[in-house]
Each structure stands twice: as structure tokens, then as C-alpha cells.
Amino acid sequence: MECAFLTVTFVSFFAVYSSFSGDPDWEDVVVAREGIPTVLICTDTTVRGAVAINWKVQPVGLEKEWKLVLSANEKKEFSGSTTEKSTRLTDPNFQDSGVFSLFLLPRFEDRGLYSCMLKQKERTLKEKIILLGILRVTVVPPSTRSSPKPPEAECTGFP
């Protein structure tokens, strides 16, 4: 079972890579299992003070439009398309720590490109693009007849 899961993970990674291979801008790849806590890392310890963070996503599909996931500013005012507790910054003191990472409990629909953009006084200081692939794992029980075959697992990823 472990070998099969690793094989599927390896194959899924290449499916993720080939889905966005025409876009050379992403710097990092994160492959996560659906519903398992995941952190998209974005840090810059040189940034201090009045800084704003914007997390955006470009979902898999024909649309190449970026959608706001979460935004926070120096007044610690949060906004964005998500009001769920399943998506948040990992460090509420991001301005002092320089840790702007995003925590999420991903759904299969959440796969795509993520942008972490740091701004200070309306000037972009840094942008990091992360490719997030989501694995959906389904365990198929063995047939009711006695069989030496072990249970099977199915994984799907991009697209």
C-alpha cells in the first residue's frame, strides 16, 4: 500500500508540473492530501513595520484570473473571499516576525497557483508564487469473496 501511494504521489507530482509547465513564474510546489492541514510558506524577515499581505489564487481551469483569498494590513484588518477558520495566516504578528505563511484545510477545488504578495506604501516588495496540488485519496474495500488481494487505493490530482 505504501509503495502504491508513493508511486501515485510521484505520478501526481508530474501531473501537477505538466499542468503549469508553461508558466515559469512559480517558485515552489506543495502537494497535499485533501482535508489535511497545509501551510504555504511565505517569509521575509527583512520586512518590518507597516506592511500589507495579499494571498491570491489562480484555480486550475481555463480561467487565468487571480482571486483574492486573504488580505491583511498594518492595522491587522483582514479581508478576502474566505471567512472560514480553515484559511488564515499562521502568525497574527506577521509584521514583527516576517512570517506571512497561509494555513489552509484544502479541498480538491483549492488546487492551483497561489500568490503571496507583500506591499509597503503601495509598493510591491516581494511576490512568491506557489503551485498547490491536492491529492484525493479513496480506499476501495476488497471484494466480499475471500481474496489474497490487499485493499486498493485511488488518488487523483491535477486536472
CA dihedral sign, ordered 37, 41, 46, 52 = negative
Mean pLDDT in residue range 47-60: 89
Q: Write the DSSP assignment of 83-151 as a string of letters.
A: -STTEEES-TTHHHH-B--EEE---GGG-EEEEEEEEETTEEEEEEEEEEEEEEEEEEPPPSS--SPPP
Q: Which residues span the domain enclosing 49?
A: 2-140
pLDDT at 115 > cutoff 50: yes
User: Can you tell me the mean pLDDT for 80-97?
Assistant: 79
Does 75 reside within a domain?
A: yes
The answer to the question of residue 145 being in a domain is no
- Has residue 159 been placed in a domain? no
Compute the mean pLDDT over every residue in the chain, rounded to the nearest whole number. Answer: 78
d(CA 110, CA 117) in angstroms, rounded, equals: 18
Angle at 38 between CA 32 and CA 158, to 5 degrees: 30
Element (H, E) at 12: helix 2-19
For position 113, which CATH number holds? 2.60.40.10
52 lies in a domain?
A: yes
Residue 153 within a domain: no
As a whole number of angstroms, the distance between CA 18 and CA 6 comes to 18
- Which pLDDT tens digit goes with each residue over 4-43? 443 444 444 444 444 445 555 788 999 999 999 999 999 9
Q: What single DSSP character describes residue 24?
A: T
> pLDDT over 70 for what percent of the chain?
67
User: Does residue 158 sit within a domain?
Assistant: no
- The pLDDT of residue 36: 93
What per-residue confidence (pLDDT) applies to 14?
44
Domain-embedded: residue 62 = yes
Domain count, the chain: 1
Classify burial at 158, counting beta carbons within 10 Å of its beta carbon; exposed 0-12, middle 13-18, buried 19 or more. buried
Higher pLDDT, 143 or 60: 60
- 99 has a pLDDT exceeding 90: yes
pLDDT for res 129:
96
- Report if residue 146 sits inside a domain: no
pLDDT band at 2 (very low <50, low <70, confident <90, very high): very low
What per-residue confidence (pLDDT) applies to 13? 44
